[in-house]
Amino acid sequence: MKKLILLTVAMLAMAAVGCGGSQARAEDEWAVVNTSSVFMRGEASYTSENVSQSRMGTPVQVLERTGYWVKIRTPEPYEGWVNKLTLAPYPADYRSCERYICIREHSFVYAEPSFEATRLSDILMSDIVRARKAQAGVSSAKAGSRKDSDASGWAAVQLWDGRGGWVPAADLTDFAEWMADGGALAAKACQTGTAGSGLAVSEIADRLVSTARLFLGAPYMWGGMSAGLFDCSGLVGFCYFMSGIQLPRDASQQIKCGIPVEFSDMQAGDLVFFGEKRVSHVALCTGPGRIIHSSQIVRENSLVKGEPDYYGRNILGIRRLIGNCSKKEIVKNSALYFAK
């Protein structure tokens, strides 16, 4: 919590002065991830292990530089080294500018509103790009439109290094609205047995589970937390982010979120933690006695003995976040992403 407060204070100071592309003191310097994803390494070397990932549009604090390596701290928060070419200067209006979030598993940014145009970048689910006004003579559809892609089915965007481009409008939606919708559902959800219909519970749980199921069969990737490249905590963290909630990076931290529930009471959206004396694995509950998780591949399993797909590791605990998120875990409340 203390680290997050210090992060926020530094962020507000940086936003007030802007970065303008000039070299700032390390403790005041911020950047934005400018590639669809970037692996973060434990040391400033390509031979060092991948410890995590960060995704396009994520605001990151610059901690240290050496050669072409930059040590960053992400919003989870998590620290690691990345190549400087994967970052762009942090714009002073980052927290207030109009942005889109990618809701398609994999898409592209094109130089012109045409699938035949040059590709400027790939863009993955949960990536964030800046919105821009289309040039004269070309109309762009509102992001999230489900129209067939034609001259009016494109959203005008800007990459964080300043390049303008186009993305099929159906692949994007408004970032602020998406995070507000998901976060509001998670915060206001009624738990089973309490007053209310429980509709919000099923809505947010459906979003979590349907997001995870998009990646069934994807191979396990140590340190992965971008679309199709997941370790266990990366998968659940990704799904929760796409539902408006920022989780800590590792399973050992995630088990401290929400409230504990019993196996007999588990429901879709709960997190199930495994291990012996310490947490070594986490999964997302898809319904009573069932989970989806990244273990060798992203797969679904039963927690009920005797079932053909029984997953028999020891359960250390089950936590419920839906309806039990703190304000700091709701992305829309984050001073790292939104102006207050």
Q: Look up residue 322 and give its two tokens.
A: 């839906």
Task: Choose, from 232, 239, 257, 325, the residue flagged as catalytic.
Answer: 232
CB atoms within 10 A of CB 315: 17
- Write the DSSP string, 51-118: EEEEETT-EEEEEEEETTEEEEE-SS--EEEEEGGGEEEPPTTTTTS-EEEE-SSEEEEESSSSTTSP
Q: Are strands 99-102 and 172-174 parallel, antiparallel or unpaired?
A: antiparallel
Distance CA 7, CA 161 (A): 23
Distance CA 241, CA 49 (A): 24
Reference 201, options 270, 247, 251; nearest CA is 270
Separation between Cα atoms, residue 237 and residue 30, nearest integer Å = 23
**How far is C-alpha 52 from the geometric centre of its chain's CA atoms?**
12
Which is the catalytic residue, given 239, 257, 293, 325? 293
190 to 214, 330, 332: CA distances (angstroms): 26, 17, 20
281 among known catalytic residues: yes
What gap in Å lies between CA 24 and CA 156, rounded to an integer? 31
**With contact defined as beta carbons under 8 Å apart, do 61 and 90 qualify?**
no
Is there a catalytic annotation at residue 232?
Answer: yes
Catalytic-labelled residue, pool 102, 281, 285, 325: 281
Adjacent-strand bridge partners of 80: 72
**Which residues share a beta bridge with 115?**
none
Are the beta carbons of 92 and 148 closer than 8 angstroms? no
Nearest residue to 158 via CA among 76, 93, 229: 93
325 has catalytic annotation: no
Please choose, from the candidates 140, 125, 216, 247, the residue with its C-alpha nearest in 3D space to the C-alpha of residue 178. Answer: 125
- Residue 213's φ and ψ, nearest 5 degrees, are -70, -20
**Residues belonging to the active site:** 232, 281, 293
